[in-house]
Amino acid sequence: MKRFLESESANTKKQKTQANRKYDDSYLQFGFVVKCGSENSTPLPQCVICQETLSNQSMKPSLLKRHQLSKHPETENKPIEFFQRKLTAFRKESKCMSSFTNFNEKFFSFCALLN
Ligand SMILES: [Zn+2]
When pLDDT is cut at 50, 70 and 90, the band that residue 77 belongs to is: very high
* CB atoms closer than 10 angstroms to residue 64: 22
Percent of the chain with pLDDT over 70: 66
When pLDDT is cut at 50, 70 and 90, the band that residue 10 belongs to is: very low
Ligand 1 centroid–CA 103 distance in Å is 21
Ligand 1 centroid–CA 46 distance in Å is 8
69 contact partners, CB below 8 Å, separation of at least 6: 76
Ligand 1 centroid–CA 38 distance in Å is 18
The pLDDT tens digits of the residues spanning 21-33 come to 999 999 999 999 9
Answer yes or no: is pLDDT of 9 > 60: no
The two beta strands, 45-47 and 32-34, are antiparallel
List the beta bridge partners of residue 45.
Answer: 34
**Residue 65 burial (10 A CB sphere; 0-12, 13-18, 19+):** middle
* CB atoms closer than 10 angstroms to residue 47: 23
Ligand 1 centroid–CA 14 distance in Å is 32
Ligand 1 centroid–CA 94 distance in Å is 16
Answer yes or no: is pLDDT of 34 > 70: yes
- When comparing pLDDT for 15 and 56, which is higher? 56
